[in-house]
Amino acid sequence: MLTNDKGNKSMWANAVEAGRTCLVLSTGMVENRHINKIEKKGEPLKATEAFPYMVTMKDREYWWLPGLYNQVLDQETGELVYTFAFATTKANALFRQIHNKDNKWRMPAIPSDDVAYEWLLGNPSVQRMQEIARTQVMSKDMDFCTITKEYLTQRDANPTNYDTLPPIDLTYLNIAEELIYPAA
C-alpha cells in the first residue's frame, strides 16, 4: 500500500499515513474470465475472449471492501475531486480461475464485519492496515455464475450459459484450501 509495483511511493501512501480509510459496500462483483480463442485448425490463439462472471458471498447478502480515499487535482477543470481504491489481495482457488488474465491472480480483500469496522473506525496502525488489506476468503464461501456480456449497457447481470466456455474446476470444494491471509 505504501509502494507500487516498481518500488516507488504509491499514490495512496499519503492516504494510508493520514488514515483516510473507507468501506465500499458490495453485494456482488463482476470479473471477466479470459479463454484463448481457437483458430480454424483447432489450435489456441494468443487472443482471448472474455466471459463475465458474477461472484457473490454465500450466507452474506452484502459485505465490505476496505478502501482508501484521496483528493486529486483534475488537470482539465482545476477542481479537487475525491477518488477511492479498494484493497486487493492474492486470489483464492476460485478467483485464480476467474481473474486469470495475465496471471495477476488478484481478488478484492473481504474482511469480516468486525474487521471492516476496525478498518474504518479503529484507527489501525499501518501494519494492521496492511494485514486487513490482504484478507482472503475461502472459495467455498463464494458463489458464482456467468452473466450476459451486455451487463454494462443493460445495467442488469442476467445469468447465462456459454456453450464454448470450459467449466470452472470445482475440486477446491473437496480439499482444504490453504490461504496465505485468511479472514480473522
CA R_g for the chain: 19
> How many Cβ atoms from other residues are within 10 Å of residue 139's Cβ?
22
Listed range (3-17, 60-74, 76-90, 116-130) with the worst mean pLDDT: 3-17
Q: How confident is the model at residue 161 (pLDDT cuts 50, 70, 90)?
A: very high
Q: Locate cell 476468503: which residue?
A: 137
| Sequence-ordered list of residues with C-beta below 8 angstroms from that of 146, at least 6 positions apart, any chain | 51, 52, 53, 54, 159, 160, 161, 162, 165
Tell whether the model's pLDDT for residue 85 goes beyond 90. yes
Task: Show me where the domains of the chain are located.
Answer: 13-174
pTM reported for the whole predicted model: 0.84
What is the C-alpha separation between 24 and 63, in angstroms, rounded?
8
Thinking of the domain 13-174, which architecture would CATH place it in? Alpha-Beta Complex (3.90)
One-letter amino acid for residue 76 of the chain: E
What is the C-alpha separation between 69 and 79, in angstroms, rounded?
16
Output the CA–CA distances (angstroms, integers) from residue 66 to 76, 113, 116, 133, in the order listed: 30, 11, 7, 7
Here the cell at position 159 is: 445469468
What local confidence, expressed as pLDDT, does residue 62 receive? 97
Tell whether the model's pLDDT for residue 14 goes beyond 90. no
For residue 119, give the H/E element and its range: helix 113-121
What totals of helices (H) and strands (E) does the chain contain, helices first? 5, 8
Higher pLDDT, 3 or 28: 28
Listed range (6-10, 100-104, 139-143, 144-148) with the worst mean pLDDT: 6-10
Q: How confident is the model at residue 184 (pLDDT cuts 50, 70, 90)?
A: low
Q: Is 181 exposed, middle or buried, given 0-12, 13-18 or 19+ CB atoms closer than 10 A?
A: middle
What local confidence, expressed as pLDDT, does residue 5 receive? 64
Here the cell at position 151 is: 451487463
**Sign of the dihedral defined by the CA atoms of residues 69, 73, 77, 78, in that order:** positive
